Amino acid sequence: MSDRFDSPSVILTGAGCRRETGSLMAALGARRTLLVADPFFASGPFMTELAGSLADAGIAHEVYSAFQPDPTEENVRAGVERCRAFEADSILAFGGGSGIDVAKMVGASVANPGPLSRFEGYHRIPNRGLSVGVIPTTAGTGSEATKVAVITDTDRGVKMMILDPKLMPAAAIVDYELTLSMPPPLTAHVGVDTLTHGIEAFVSRKANALTDPIALRSIDRVQRYLGRAWKDPEDREAREGMALAALEGGLAFTNSSVCLVHGMSRPLGFAYGLPHGLSNAVLLPTVTRFSWRGGADRYAGVARVMGLASPRDGDAYASEALVDRLDGLNAELEVPRLRDCCGGDRGAFRSTLEKMAADALNSGSPGNNPTIPAAEEIMELYDSAW
Ligand SMILES: NC(=O)c1ccc[n+]([C@@H]2O[C@H](COP(=O)([O-])OP(=O)(O)OC[C@H]3O[C@@H](n4cnc5c(N)ncnc54)[C@H](O)[C@@H]3O)[C@@H](O)[C@H]2O)c1
Ligand SMILES: [Fe+2]
């Protein structure tokens, strides 16, 4: 079986590269763009600058910002209406993973009518939609370089994972200066999401020759820069390192896969209203402790690139050192414990585990894990992360 590698056609990186947005969108054929902008940025100097860059390139735009973090199908529907009314020929996302995923699904929905549940899972979008350019403002989901969108179906109570190469953005514009405004908790949550992408891409049963070095590079950067960016939001070198790590994490996992942490994180995030990065972070150490025996050499590789073990140390020792480091990183970044995110009532929490475990398994992600769990084991993992 062959391995396939998808990426945006163009990736710009570097301080100030956002100023090239207009000419890049024009080169993609854009004349009328729906600008899906995160509410945090919907007014202010960056928006003014972006509007100017589009106008200079002869591109008319309309702003759509009425979506929530961890967005819903309703958010996408409203965006599609705006897109049609404006007769947009292209989409530009300017925001974190939420805005980017809304933009991707608005672009796809214009050419593919019907409820988004039609597209849930793998390779189920029939027609190519509008071209999408992406400017991420968190570091981050890596969604600027993935063929994935995560949208909540509130009726069924499920965070749908939609994966299709037609969702890969045409252009990614990764300008770390846009991330300088992230407060420390957001930096921590989205940064541990990045680390989870790198680790899961590397340990996945779908890991391959092209994704391995990119995943390890991402992990290495997180180890060096996340703590610094959390301590000092203005540390430009650390912000740049994390923006690159997020991009690499996205490229790695979208061409390999995510695994059990993400499989368990989506139901948990939906059930308790946790942002995506936080719901990963509270699970990552516990799930790693459970998983490493199914692929000790891979987890040891992660530990070694993080400088936690030497080549002479055995794989089991290195894997345990990784689990310790993940626990320590959460503590250092002041990530709350799961019990503090879920109302503190353990009995009530336990009554939700069966549905969460079933939803986790249904997403398919646990099947990529080095150790593949049964539903009861997933319930135990949620319980021991408490
Ligand atoms: N498509 C993918 O490949 C992929 C991968 C991982 C996660 N996701 C999805 O991405 C979403 C989460 O995205 P996220 O973690 O980037 O957060 P987000 O986009 O939900 O943003 C979180 C909060 O941060 C604010 N914000 C964004 N940028 C900021 C900045 N520079 N300064 C200050 N505040 C800022 C937003 O306004 C929002 O309130 C979830 O829905 C998750 O499921 C998608
Ligand atoms: Fe993620």
How many Å lie between the centroid of ligand 2 and the Cα of residue 187?
Answer: 14
pLDDT band at 77 (very low <50, low <70, confident <90, very high): very high
How many Å lie between the centroid of ligand 2 and the Cα of residue 201?
Answer: 11
The protein residue with its alpha carbon nearest to ligand 1, atom 39, reads 69
pLDDT at 42: 87
Q: Is 252 in the pocket of ligand 1 (CB under 6 A)?
A: no
The mean pLDDT of 131-148, rounded to a whole number, is: 98
Percentage of the residues of the chain whose pLDDT score is greater than 90 = 98
The mean pLDDT of 153-159, rounded to a whole number, is: 92
Assigned token pair, 76: 């996408």
How many Å lie between the centroid of ligand 2 and the Cα of residue 197?
Answer: 6
pLDDT at 147: 98
Q: Is 144 in the pocket of ligand 1 (CB under 6 A)?
A: no
The mean pLDDT of 126-152, rounded to a whole number, is: 97
For 369, phi then psi, to 5°, come to: -75, 150
pLDDT tens digit sequence for 25-38: 999 999 999 999 99
Length of the chain, please?
386
Q: How far apart are CA 45 and CA 114, in angstroms?
A: 37
How many Å lie between the centroid of ligand 2 and the Cα of residue 356?
Answer: 17
- Tell me the sheet residues that pair with 11: 172
CA dist 363 → 117, 161, 190, 264, 316 (Å): 13, 7, 21, 9, 29
Say yes or no to pLDDT of 88 above 90. Answer: yes
Residue 164: name the closest of 130, 197, 121 by CA.
121
Atom of ligand 1 nearest to the CA of 96: 19
pLDDT tens digit sequence for 301-340: 999 999 999 999 999 999 999 999 999 999 999 999 999 9
Q: Is 98 in the pocket of ligand 1 (CB under 6 A)?
A: yes
- Average pLDDT of the chain is 97
Q: Is 179 in the pocket of ligand 1 (CB under 6 A)?
A: yes
Assigned token pair, 184: 């420390």
What domains are there in the chain, each with its CATH number? 10-179 (3.40.50.1970), 184-385 (1.20.1090.10)
Assigned token pair, 312: 């002479």
How many Å lie between the centroid of ligand 2 and the Cα of residue 321?
Answer: 23
Residue 151: name the closest of 128, 169, 167, 171 by CA.
167
CA 330 to chain CA centroid, Å, is 18
User: Residue type at 274?
Assistant: L
Say yes or no to pLDDT of 270 above 90. Answer: yes
How many Å lie between the centroid of ligand 2 and the Cα of residue 378?
Answer: 18
Can you give the pTM of this predicted structure?
0.98
Q: How far apart are CA 85 and CA 103, in angstroms?
A: 16
pLDDT tens digit sequence for 206-238: 999 999 999 999 999 999 999 999 999 999 999
Q: Is 146 in the pocket of ligand 1 (CB under 6 A)?
A: yes
DSSP states along 331-374: HHTTPPPHHHHTTT-HHHHHTTHHHHHHHHHHTSGGGGSSSPPP
Is 359 buried (19+), middle (13-18) or exposed (0-12) by CB count in 10 A?
buried
The protein residue with its alpha carbon nearest to ligand 1, atom 40, reads 70
The strands making up 60-64's β-sheet, listed across from edge to edge, are 10-13, 171-174, 131-136, 90-95, 32-37, 60-64
pLDDT at 43: 86
The protein residue with its alpha carbon nearest to ligand 1, atom 4, reads 143
CA 127 to chain CA centroid, Å, is 24
pLDDT at 1: 79
